Amino acid sequence: MKLGIVYHMPFWRDQQGVLWELEGSFARYVDSLAPYFDEISLCVPEMRNPPAAGSRIRAANVRLAPLPFFDGPAQFYPRLPRMAATIVRWASSVDVLHCRVPTPAAFLAYVAARAAGTPVFVLVVGDLRALRPSMTYRGAKKAIWATYTELEEWCIRRMIRHALTFANGAALTRKHDAPASPVIETKTTTIDAHDLAVRADTCAGPAIRLLAVSRIDPRKGLRCLPDAVARLGSSGYDVSLDIIGPVAGGAGAAEREAILADAVRLGVVDRVRCVGALPLDQLLPRYRDYDLFVLPTLPGEGIPRVLLEAMAAGLPVITTRAGGIASLIAHERNGILLDESSAPAVSAAVARLVDSARLRQQVIRGGYETARAHTLEAQAARMMAVVSPWLATKLRDKPPNDGRGSQRSNAGGAGDVASGAAAS
């Protein structure tokens, strides 16, 4: 059984033919599905000039069906004439198609699979329409983004109508669920059993280290954090903040500059750092260096996977009720939920957790329980328990490799059905 997955996360191959992904969460997701299929074929953009670090695909049965590199819809659609035949041919070559959406290449692959009689299952991971109010685009860019958003909404609705569909969190599930096309809730994750920490408490010393892990763009609510640090400092708390994550395009670059400018203006420039992006395998151990996790994100989320990463590391989580977050986090049981993304709300929540060891330890214990229930292995097993009877076939129940050991070369071979056309 050959599973094809289409998404926009870029990959590359090293000189040994090993596959690497830029950020890591998608690589881990692919590895979690690999034990259930004979082969997984990834229709994703390929980087020709890869960075020095990334996250590797560990499963030996994953192949690359590369597309020319694109970094979002603005780069995808001008290249569509070059990619269309590749996507159609690839989608017709797999036994099952899996689309993670929103993503620009998914609908074309879906149409090709449907035409070939290939079953399709979909995972909805985000809500572009809900993000629109927080976008900073003006004029023509705003109109183009609105048009693209509505195109993705239309495509997703069409796919859901004729495909088995999962959605990340309760909010996305409610949005897309319908009597004629029911949607199954899941919670996307990046953690496995090896990532669970054992510490029972944080905030042991006078200096409190806050962590935010997020791409930097206006939709993530990060602008309030320098003010929150300043308010905490004025109240006598010795607090510093690291923001780890990539800058998301021009809007993200402007947001980063605004965050740092606010830190200068508020006198906390020595306490607020934008660290940049880290591959997942390097990021996960870093969580354990901090005392509290903050993510004052805005509407448009499914469930940010960083919340489970923080819980697995024993970090108390402070975040907003945006999107599907409240379906993962119960207030004061496994995290602190904010009603608004603001500096007063963040600083008050930080102060509560610093001052109350009982509340802090309760949240940490609840976080471990939640993380344990939402590992990659558990998520994949739940999804495949639905996919298998839907396909009317038994999927593999033993991995073709151990998923964490050495990887055979996954370059070339029958799985590279698109490489020639994509490179031309």
Q: What is the pLDDT of residues 60-88, one digit of tens each?
A: 999 999 999 997 888 899 999 989 999 99
Instruction: Determine the distance from the C-alpha atom of residue 269 to the mean position of all C-alpha atoms in its chain, rounded to a whole number.
Output: 29
Q: What is the pLDDT of residue 424?
A: 25
Q: Are residues 174 and 281 in the same domain?
A: no
Domain harbouring 229, CATH code: 3.40.50.2000
Residue 272 to residue 209: CA distance in whole angstroms: 10
Q: 414 exposed, middle or buried (CB, 10 Å; 0-12, 13-18, 19+)?
A: exposed
Q: Are residues 240 and 327 in the same domain?
A: yes
Q: Are residues 197 and 340 in the same domain?
A: yes
- Whether 168 shows a pLDDT value over 80: the answer reads yes
Average pLDDT of the segment spanning 36-51: 94
Q: What are phi and psi of 70, to 5 degrees?
A: -140, 150
Quick check: bond before 50 cis, omega within 30?
A: no
**Is 417 among the domain residues?**
no
Residue 276 to residue 315: CA distance in whole angstroms: 20
Q: What is the DSSP letter of 132?
A: G
Give the three-state DSSP class for 337. Answer: strand
DSSP string, 195-260: G---------SSEEEEEEE--BSGGG-GGGHHHHHHHHHHTT-EEEEEEES-B-HHHHHHHHHHHH
Instruction: Supply 190's token pair.
Output: 């990046």
The mean pLDDT value of the chain amounts to: 90
**Is 311 among the domain residues?**
yes
pLDDT exceeding 70 applies to what percent of the chain?
93
**Is 422 among the domain residues?**
no
- Whether 343 shows a pLDDT value over 90: the answer reads yes
Using only C-alpha atoms, what is the Rg of the chain?
21
Number of helices followed by number of strands (H, E) in the chain: 14, 16
Identify the H or E element spanning 385.
helix 376-391
**Is 423 among the domain residues?**
no
**Is 418 among the domain residues?**
no
Range of the domain at 98: 2-189+375-408
Q: Are residues 131 and 252 in the same domain?
A: no
413 within 8 A of 61, measured Cβ to Cβ? no
pTM to 2 decimals? 0.84
| Other beta carbons within 10 Å of 160 | 21
Q: Are residues 284 and 329 in the same domain?
A: yes
Q: Are residues 108 and 223 in the same domain?
A: no
- Whether 406 shows a pLDDT value over 70: the answer reads no
DSSP string, 40-98: EEEE-BB-SS--S--EE---TTEEE--B---SSHHHHHHHHHHHHHHHHHHHTT-SEEE
Number of domains in the chain: 2
Q: Are residues 148 and 178 in the same domain?
A: yes
**Is 424 among the domain residues?**
no
Q: What is the pLDDT of residues 95-142, one digit of tens each?
A: 999 999 999 999 999 999 999 999 999 999 988 888 777 677 788 888
Q: What is the pLDDT of residue 398?
A: 54
Residue 394 to residue 36: CA distance in whole angstroms: 9
- Whether 402 shows a pLDDT value over 50: the answer reads no
Q: What is the pLDDT of residue 138?
A: 81
56 within 8 A of 407, measured Cβ to Cβ? yes
Going by C-alpha positions, the residue among 85, 5, 76, 93 that lies closest to residue 44 is 5
Strands 272-276 and 183-186, sheet pairing: unpaired
